[in-house]
Chain A
């Protein structure tokens, strides 16, 4: 598949451990945030989102935390599995806006 980033930050975790992927966003006016997962050779896939009126949101095995004070997002993946190996992108946008700004991504590598 295509290489999505030759020089991406990489996180390597053992299967079964929890993973935390961090992201700093740039625009203090952003009020909607999304995490995407991109597997090799595929398009990005929506994982979870959060609005700025929340500081935590949970999905299935994933949790997103938002700290607006320092403009920081994190994605926590519980009991990481080999299928979680991918590049993860955070994205920010504004309510009513058309555009979404994507971060550069973090590569997650899960060791069996």
Chain B
């Protein structure tokens, strides 16, 4: 599992509340990603980070913000959760050694917004 943990693993929250999901890695990888996975849409990139304090938007970034103050932690925040943000969220790291760019994923967080 490349030393990736996500917390919480499951969360139910109400519309309008803020939510923060945490991704933690133990192997000092530079690149980290947040995806959401929904039926019929596969994996869609929300935000990514290419170093401490260096982040950028993905294809579905509206309504989400991220922070990376330490190499090992990448936080995803839903400022005001909406029902459309009910999804499974995956964090990933990219192993960038040797010219290959495969990503390794955490176990996922199932978020339900009621």
Chief secondary structure at chain A's binding surface? loop
**A42-B107 in contact given A32-B101, A95-B99 (Cβ < 8 Å):** yes
Interface size class of B (residues with CB under 8 A): 20 to 34
- Who on chain B is nearest to A4 by CB? B37
**A44-B105 in contact given A2-B110, A7-B40, A99-B45 (Cβ < 8 Å):** yes
Which of these, B43, B44, B88, contacts A2 with CB under 8 Å?
A: B88
Q: Name the A residues within 8 Å of B1 (CB-CB).
A: 43
Q: Evaluate contact between A98 and B106: CB separation under 8 angstroms.
A: no
A98 to B50, CA, bound (A): 8
A34 to B43, CA, bound (A): 14
Judged by a CB distance under 8 angstroms, whether A29 is at the interface is no
- Who on chain B is nearest to A99 by CB? B45
Q: Evaluate contact between A89 and B42: CB separation under 8 angstroms.
A: yes
A29 to B88, CA, bound (A): 30
Chain A proximity of B48: nearest CB distance (Å):
6
User: Number of A residues contacting the other chain (C-beta, 8 Å)?
Assistant: 26
A31 to B50, CA, bound (A): 20
Judged by a CB distance under 8 angstroms, whether B56 is at the interface is yes
Which of these, A2, A95, A102, A103, contacts B108 with CB under 8 Å?
A: A2
Q: Evaluate contact between A46 and B104: CB separation under 8 angstroms.
A: yes
Q: Name the B residues within 8 Å of A49 (CB-CB).
A: 100, 102
Other 16 A-B pairs with CB < 8 A, given A42-B108, A44-B103, A95-B101:
A2-B108, A4-B39, A5-B42, A7-B40, A8-B40, A32-B101, A43-B90, A43-B105, A43-B106, A44-B90, A46-B102, A95-B99, A99-B58, A104-B41, A104-B42, A105-B42
Question: Could you jot down 8 A-B contacts, CB within 8 Å?
Answer: A4-B88, A5-B39, A6-B40, A43-B92, A46-B102, A95-B101, A99-B58, A100-B103
